[in-house]
Amino acid sequence: MRLLAFATALLSIFVALPINASAATISIVSMQYSAAHPVPHLHYDGDTADGDVATLQSMYDTFVKCRLSCIGPDGGATAVLTLNGPGGSYFEGLALADFLRANHIATVVERGSGCYSACAFAFLGGSAWSSQDGVGTYVDRMVEPGSVVGFHAPYSDEVSFTNALNERGAMAMQGQTRDLLALMVKELVKWNVDPEVIFKMVGMGPEETYNLVTAEDLYLARVTLPPTPSSGWITDLPSAIREACLRLLAIDERAAPYDMQWRFESDYTPAIGEAELAGPISGYKLGDRLLDIGSCSATDASMATDGDYEIALYFTPGLDGLNAASTSFFNRQHGWSTAGVGRDPLKRIFAKGPLNSFFLPLDADIDGLDLPGEADIDANRFNTALPPLLPTMPSDLVVDASTPSSRVSHLGDVFVFERVGTRQLYDSAFAQGALGRAYTNEVTSDTGFVREGAFVDTAATFVWFGILNGESSAVVEAIVVKPNGEAPTDEDLATLRRIQCEADFQGSKLNCG
């Protein structure tokens, strides 16, 4: 098979490789996952088995050509891995999580997908990186409403347990069980999962899973919704502030948010106090003891914004009549959202973009809320009910995989990634600029752009272009993927030229005159 020459086997539902019959299929889907994550999209599907890390490493090395040089102080991931799997090898799942963290790969479980057991532990490794001082590596793991991430403690099936018990004895098996549980606890702490999750998991049987489906589940597992405007998730701002206050109280008292309901002594109260540095605050009374937490409130100034809310636990007034902030939550539409304290982004609640799940009712299934934010997630991924037709491309390209909105093909060592969608797809690609890329040619018109050059990290040669047609767009990236970093041949360069000149998107073409 031609494509096995230097990296991985590349044929399945997408361009993909299962390492053996029981391993997951790992695929390259596109070069632009979403507007918020405009990076290569890898997909993991199936049982977690030995060798999955090696397979993912091969796919990553082959197709993710822009690494940390493509990420600036604003932060981002080098790729996104979507996951769907029933579980499998616990230790391979942990190794996958480590690989994702080391390579700054974000994780997403999309609507309709389920990621259980070993897959769920792999999911925890989702990470990104920023060159900004004091940030570096940070957690980037997301779930869409309508997905399920399910955790359970490691266990052996009845036959394996009985055989091991007969071979090794009860004391040895008890020791092994203790070791596995200790490892599970250590790993959950390592991935900044709230201890409440550990308490739930330890008491579950082998057929039970702790599923992330409610807003409280997302808080406890330190998981976010994909970043979209907070306005799509908030129907009543005072109620949303109260929900955020439950999380702040949980952080402050190291408890589950649901157990903090009793702390509220009033309904929402406008102008409940005056913050030392931020002016008037409005929120909920929590007490009136001196030198103790008196309210959980938002600054009035932040409440007048489009979602950049600043909410905190405030002490009762001092001698100057002002309220000093304690545990705080900063929600940012663009930039860093944080809750709690601590300098290490990996050990606190810290995300790029808004923490919208903080504003949702704790015990409600997020998918059942049916909020506008769900449509915003689709828009962020350029999804439409009826996507435009894929471009007409050179007829000698070999199609490896396609969906209604994407296609992967190749000719020789040139791989072509097409994506169609709304105008937002084009705008997102165009806005990426030159970070991590050295352009040798760049041309822009009212209906398209072309960028040619090489990636700074890997020196791989590419042509990248977008074509507009009304409110629809197509974005195509063709990359020369050579073994051992060899330079592209004249034939490769000619193929790149033909791809950009022959691409036809609903009658719109680039000007190659």
The pLDDT tens digits of the residues spanning 382-428 come to: 998 899 999 999 999 999 999 999 999 999 999 999 999 999 999 99
**Whether the Cβ atoms of residue 252 and residue 313 lie closer than 8 Å to each other:** yes
CB 225 within 8 A of CB 218: yes
- Cα-based torsion angle of the residue sequence 79, 84, 88, 91 in order, rounded to the nearest 10 degrees: 20
- At residue 307, the pLDDT reads 97
Q: What does the block give as tokens for 207?
A: 């057929």
Give residue 33's pLDDT.
Answer: 97
Choice among 38-52, 101-115, 482-496 with the minimum mean pLDDT: 482-496
Q: Which pLDDT tens digit goes with each residue over 18-40?
A: 444 458 999 999 999 999 999 99
Q: Show the domains of the chain with their CATH numbers.
A: 2-221 (3.90.226), 230-342 (no CATH), 398-502 (no CATH)
Apex CA 404: angle with CA 402 and CA 408, to 5°?
A: 25
CA angle, residues 293, 296, 298, in degrees to nearest 5: 135
Residues 424, 382 contacting (CB under 8 angstroms):
yes
pLDDT confidence tier of residue 5, bands split at 50, 70 and 90 = very low
Residue 354 · residue 377 · CB < 8 Å: no
Q: How far apart are CA 126 and CA 236, in angstroms?
A: 31
Confidence (pLDDT) at 513? 67
> What does the pLDDT look like over 79-116, one tens digit per residue?
999 999 999 998 999 999 999 999 999 999 999 999 99
Mean pLDDT over 285-303 rounds to: 96
Residue 20 burial class via C-beta count within 10 angstroms: exposed 0-12, middle 13-18, buried 19 and up = exposed
The pLDDT of residue 201: 78
Which residues contact residue 346 at a Cβ distance below 8 angstroms, ignoring those fewer than 6 apart? 137, 138, 139, 192
H or E segment at 479? strand 472-480
Q: What's the average model confidence in pLDDT over 279-284?
A: 98
What is the value of pTM for the model shown?
Answer: 0.90
Segment 148-183, tens digit of pLDDT: 999 986 555 454 444 444 555 454 445 445 566 667
With a cut of 50, say whether residue 1 has pLDDT above it. Answer: no
The neighbour count for residue 453, using CB atoms within 10 Å, is: 17
